[in-house]
A and B are shown apart, each in its own frame.
Chain A
Amino acid sequence: MPRWLAAGREVAPLNATPPALVICVKDLQQELKTRESFTAAFFFALLVQLVFSFAFDFQSLGLGFQDVGAGVLWITLTFSSILSLQNSFVIEREKNCLAALALCPCDPSSVFLGKFLANLIFVLAVQAFVLPISALFFGYDLAAVALPLSLVVVVNAAGFSALGTLFAAISVRTRRSELLLPLLLFPAATPVVIWGVKATRLCLAGRGLEAYEYLVGLSACFGAIFAVAGVLLFDYVLEE
């Protein structure tokens, strides 16, 4: 048996932090320092809501927020997420840290999981600030639906971020990545947006969880499928 086969797979020491977590913490550190991703996504989200209230004059049209609110929330979430997804990999590209990550002695899937986790946290952090403000803007009772709504947001944002992390890593490798990411991500993320809007609408209308738990389940499946796809395929994305 050749020596290199006999050497066996090296196992990381048990007390070591999993690489995915290390990457996630690094991203959070970076974000805490500059807040550039959060600031951009947050103000973009506010702007989207502003444009919406101009575009659909809710009060004079007599529209309640539960009629269009779900749509507004999801457009806000997807558009602002694109910004932070993009930034998450632009940062890695700047000094070619992407290559350094590719060279780390961990599995490429850890890189995917770490970036995915960090992205999800960003999206949720932005939403945590945007949702109360939209409740103020559009005058709906957030407290009454806070719990089921956050479940919907967490699950669907996870699905969106899983696919988004994979596609952001792909688009950042090309020229004009900022154009390519929305082009790739929006059509492919259709399911999770549709299910998210539907579930949010039911949720805002005050329906019980049993009315839309199947939608949350479907979104969870979507997230699981593309998280697995990311884990399996990220190696090819990281490779030079």
Chain B
Amino acid sequence: MSAPSLVSTRNLEFRFGARPVLRGLNLDLHRGESLAVFGSNGAGKTTLLRILATLLRPTGGEAFLDEVPLSARAQRSHLRRRIGFLSHQSMLYERLTARQNLHFYARMYGVDNRARRCAELLEMVELGGREDDPVEEFSKGMQQRLALARALVHDPELVLLDEPFSGLDPRASSRLGTLLQDLPRRGKAVLFTSHHLEMGLGVAHRVAILSGGSFAFDSPRESTSLEGLVAAYASLAGRGA
């Protein structure tokens, strides 16, 4: 691919205290591409996502969105408008209704046509009809779906999802899978982490394994078999941080 990548990192490093989490991680992700990142617990998947979401600042190296360094302070709000982030925690206000939550974030991101956008998203995550119920009455899966809608409320170009499949029933999982395939078609770049190798491989254009602080395995889907991925994961993920 010759077009410049939407998101890239050069020698990204992150230390927690003195403990290195990421070491010299290089990543390139283009528009219209999705990448599934696997790795054992503590491999730094979440850290990577949080850095790309501008929530953490790397201790070394730099990450770029469209060649703009993520640390560029003057550009920060501009950058953040283009990034959507789904974290482990739902980032929803439990006492507010689904609609109020979405409207709040839509306002914060300055989304035009708020009402329509929110209705659209609620429909997409199949929460139509429940939009005026407080989030605390939702099941885990419903909350996860609403959290996903929240992350997409401002139609971000870069979509970062941390374990999006967790807490979803099979039906919702397959819906999410369809969505993750649909987003790249609309020119978005998607990066998500998962424990579920098969699901990730089925959805993403590329799969990568994070081990030892950088990508130890990074390959397009076409040239990866599930058996190969499982074998690679088994040999790499055991190697600690």
A and B touch in the complex (CB under 8 A): yes
Q: Is B94 an interface residue (CB 8 A)?
A: yes
A10 and B78 contacting across the interface, CB-CB below 8 Å = yes
A22 and B55 contacting across the interface, CB-CB below 8 Å = no
Q: Is A16 an interface residue (CB 8 A)?
A: yes
- A95 CB contacts on chain B under 8 angstroms: 89-94
Known contacts A13-B110, A34-B95; decide if A4 and B72 are in contact (CB<8 Å): yes
Q: Is B107 an interface residue (CB 8 A)?
A: yes
- B78 CB contacts on chain A under 8 angstroms: 7, 9-10, 105
Known contacts A103-B55, A104-B108; decide if A97 and B77 are in contact (CB<8 Å): no
Measured CB to CB, the closest approach of chain B to A70, in angstroms, equals: 36
Measured CB to CB, the closest approach of chain B to A1, in angstroms, equals: 12
- A2 CB contacts on chain B under 8 angstroms: 67
Measured CB to CB, the closest approach of chain A to B131, in angstroms, equals: 15
- A143 CB contacts on chain B under 8 angstroms: none
- A12 CB contacts on chain B under 8 angstroms: 110
B96 and A30 contacting across the interface, CB-CB below 8 Å = yes
| Interface range, B side | 35 or more
Q: Which residue of A lies closest to B97 (CB)?
A: A33
Partner of B108, one of A7, A22, A96: A22
A97 and B93 contacting across the interface, CB-CB below 8 Å = yes
Binary B-proximity of A213-234 (CB < 8 A = 1, otherwise 0): 0000000000000000000000
B81 and A30 contacting across the interface, CB-CB below 8 Å = no
Measured CB to CB, the closest approach of chain B to A187, in angstroms, equals: 31
- A96 CB contacts on chain B under 8 angstroms: 87-91
Give the interface centre of A4, A34, A100, A239 by most chain B CB atoms within 10 Å: A100
Q: Is A210 an interface residue (CB 8 A)?
A: no
A22 and B107 contacting across the interface, CB-CB below 8 Å = yes
Partner of A26, one of B67, B96, B150: B96
Q: Is B109 an interface residue (CB 8 A)?
A: yes
Known contacts A33-B96, A95-B89, A95-B91; decide if A3 and B68 are in contact (CB<8 Å): yes
Known contacts A105-B109, A106-B108; decide if A26 and B68 are in contact (CB<8 Å): no
Q: Is A29 an interface residue (CB 8 A)?
A: yes
Partner of B96, one of A9, A10, A29: A29
The residues in B between 6 and 37 inclusive whose CB is less than 8 angstroms from any CB of A are none
A240 and B93 contacting across the interface, CB-CB below 8 Å = no
- Contacts A3-B68, A95-B91, A105-B76 known; 17 new A-B pairs at CB < 8 A: A4-B69, A4-B72, A10-B77, A10-B78, A10-B81, A19-B107, A26-B104, A29-B100, A30-B93, A95-B92, A96-B89, A100-B150, A103-B53, A103-B80, A104-B80, A105-B110, A240-B55
Residues of A within 8 A of B (CB): 2-4, 7, 9-10, 12-13, 16-17, 19, 22-23, 26, 29-30, 33-34, 91, 94-97, 99-107, 239-240
Q: Can you show 26 pairs from A to B with CB atoms below 8 A apart?
A: A3-B66, A4-B68, A4-B75, A7-B68, A9-B75, A9-B77, A13-B110, A19-B108, A22-B107, A22-B108, A26-B96, A26-B100, A29-B96, A30-B95, A33-B134, A94-B94, A95-B89, A95-B90, A95-B92, A96-B87, A99-B87, A103-B83, A103-B85, A104-B80, A240-B50, A240-B55
